[in-house]
Amino acid sequence: MRIKNDYGYSAEQYKYQTGNSVCHILLGAGLQPHHIFDDQEKKYTAEVDAQIGEVYYEGKGTQQVKFAPDFKLPSIADFAKIELVNPRAYVRGRRIYVKADGIKAV
């Protein structure tokens, strides 16, 4: 992925980072819950604030994508070509963060 620092998640940043690269879903163990970190207790809570999935962009590599905490994967095959619904990206330093509202098969 290319790095272009920006502030906040945006569709424009996502398009800049991925270009016209074809995207594939990597199911593996499926979506992984992302738990909230309690700064005072210095540990993760049982509360889930997102579901994390992994996708592969042809010619660019893999990227984790964050979905809503109640998001469920549609019936889709591993490594199927997909399109992310309403994808947005955010760059902080040299790290790229992506989130989307859903997935649809292409």
Please report the DSSP string for 61-94 in residue order: EEEEEEE-TT----S--TT-EEEEES-EEEEETT
Backbone phi, then psi, for 12, in 5-degree steps? -65, -40
- Using 50, 70 and 90 to split pLDDT, how confident is the model at 92? confident
- Number of compact structural domains in the chain: 1
The domain containing residue 61 runs over which residues?
11-36+46-105
Kindly report the CATH number assigned to the domain that includes residue 25: 2.40.50.390
Q: Is residue 71 part of a domain?
A: yes
- 40 touches 9 (CB < 8 A): no
| Section 2-14 average pLDDT | 76
pLDDT in tens, 41-53: 999 999 999 999 9
Q: Is residue 6 part of a domain?
A: no
**Mean pLDDT of all residues in the chain?**
92
Residue 31 has pLDDT above 90, yes or no: yes
Residue-level pLDDT at 5: 58
